[in-house]
Amino acid sequence: MVVLFSQHSSFHSQTGCVRIALGYWLLEETERCCRHSIIKPACVPISVISLFILMIVFFPLFNDDAIDSALTRYERSGVCNEPSYRFVVESIPTNVTFTNFTKNPSTYEIWRRLLADSKSTLDVAALYWNLRDGTHYPTAWQGNDIFSGFVAAAKRNVKIRIAQNIASEQFAQLDSAYLASHGYASVRSLDFNKLLGSGVLHTKFWIVDVRHIYIGSANMDWKSLTEVKELGYVLWNCSCLASELLKIFIAYWKLGADGAKVPSKWPLSLRTVFNFSNPLHMTINDRNAFAFISVCLSTFCLIQIQYLFSFYENHLSLCQIRYLFFQNAFHSVI
């Protein structure tokens, strides 16, 4: 960032006045203030106050968390050159069958693979945790296996961070508490009653090694793997969108800190250059695609994640996924 100061000197009746321009006049000494002298004693405190204001305005910009001196390559070019692959992910309840049904990878299979492939970092946003089942219900084994996968990843020195809704009588968050107490994960809980007056963190997504992402409706609950119909997407090998999604997670992480409040201005490092009018150009499943993560609501502008993919097959096919803060809604428009 370059801060430009321009100086203009004007002399009237042997008067010296320095005017500093910074977008608008921050310091303007009148002829009466500086009459008969270049510097008057009264001008000194005014100058000090003006410099103090400048420090307050610009100091946070130069000390922003995780801000780079330049945009990343994909942000500068607007093109992600990594060939990415996406799959629809589903959970089909036990003993439920469909005719003329194209089987997609199960949520359990994808989560298991993401855990096994994780090498350095794993960031998870979740409403609640209930992967382990103390009643030994027959179909709970998948949840137990996924929980063991988190422990195994942590033992491989994968750094695990969990942003979740605050524990309650309904959701005790015992699984995440276990991971935190045993040093397997860092956990922060968001209390939206304090942050916004009401609401819950209803987001469910994973970011693995800032390269692979899962986003969907499945809770961190064994029932979401075997007893409830769930729908999601997994995107492999896309550090560009993973980096964009990470900005959302960092916002949750900041809001989960002790005494956190929704900031009046989000850090520059969490801003994006991509939107509906300027999406990120990508290659997904060997097809041209466009994607962006949008922001909304002035009080908490990082609530909604919206992906927009356009695929060119026999005709233009528009597949739009909206993952909302208070509800999950998947829309497909052909």
| Tokens 């097809």, located at residue | 287
CA torsion through residues 191, 302, 206, 270, sign: negative
Separation between Cα atoms, residue 103 and residue 105, nearest integer Å: 7
Which one of 133, 191, 209, 281 is the catalytic residue? 209
What pLDDT score does 121 carry?
98
Question: What is the H or E stretch that residue 58 is in?
Answer: helix 43-62
Q: Which residue, chain included where needed, has tokens 């949750």?
A: 252
Catalytic-labelled residue, pool 204, 212, 223, 247: 204
Write the DSSP symbol of residue 144. Answer: H
Q: Using one digit for the tens of pLDDT, what is the confidence trace for 220-279?
A: 999 999 999 999 999 999 999 999 999 999 999 999 999 999 888 888 888 888 888 888
DSSP 8-state code for residue 166: P
Question: Which candidate in 202, 212, 223, 254 is catalytic?
Answer: 202
pLDDT score of 270: 84
Task: Give 212-226 pLDDT, tens digit per residue.
Answer: 999 999 999 999 999
Task: Report d(CA 212, CA 209) in Å as an integer.
Answer: 7
Q: Supply the pLDDT for residue 130.
A: 96
| Residue 279 near residue 291, CB atoms below 8 Å | yes
- CA dist., res. 279 & res. 272, Å (int): 10
Which segments of the chain have a pLDDT < 50? 1-34, 60-70, 297-298, 300-334
Is residue 133 annotated as part of the catalytic site, yes or no? Answer: no
- pTM value > 0.75: no
- Residues facing residue 282 across a β-bridge: 289
- Closest by alpha carbon to 281, among 238, 231, 334? 238
Rounded to an integer, what is the distance from CA 91 to the centroid of its chain? 25
What the block records as the tokens of 18 is 């320095």
Look up 204 and say whether it is catalytic.
Answer: yes
Is residue 325 left, alpha or beta, with left meaning phi > 0 and alpha meaning psi from -120 to 50? Answer: alpha
> Do residues 125 and 205 touch, judged by C-beta distance below 8 A?
yes
For the chain, the first-to-last Cα distance in angstroms comes to 44
Angle between helices 141-155 and 174-181 (to 10 degrees): 20
* Contact call for residues 265 and 64 (beta carbons, < 8 A): no
* Of 326, 288, 325, 294, nearest in space to 307 by CA: 294
> How many CB atoms are located within 10 Å of the residue 98 CB?
8
Domains annotated for the chain, with CATH where assigned, are 6-62 (no CATH), 76-333 (3.30.870.10)
**Those residues with Cβ within 8 angstroms of residue 277's Cβ, 6 or more apart along the chain or in another chain:** none
d(CA 268, CA 271): 5
Concerning whether 247 is annotated as a catalytic residue, the answer is no
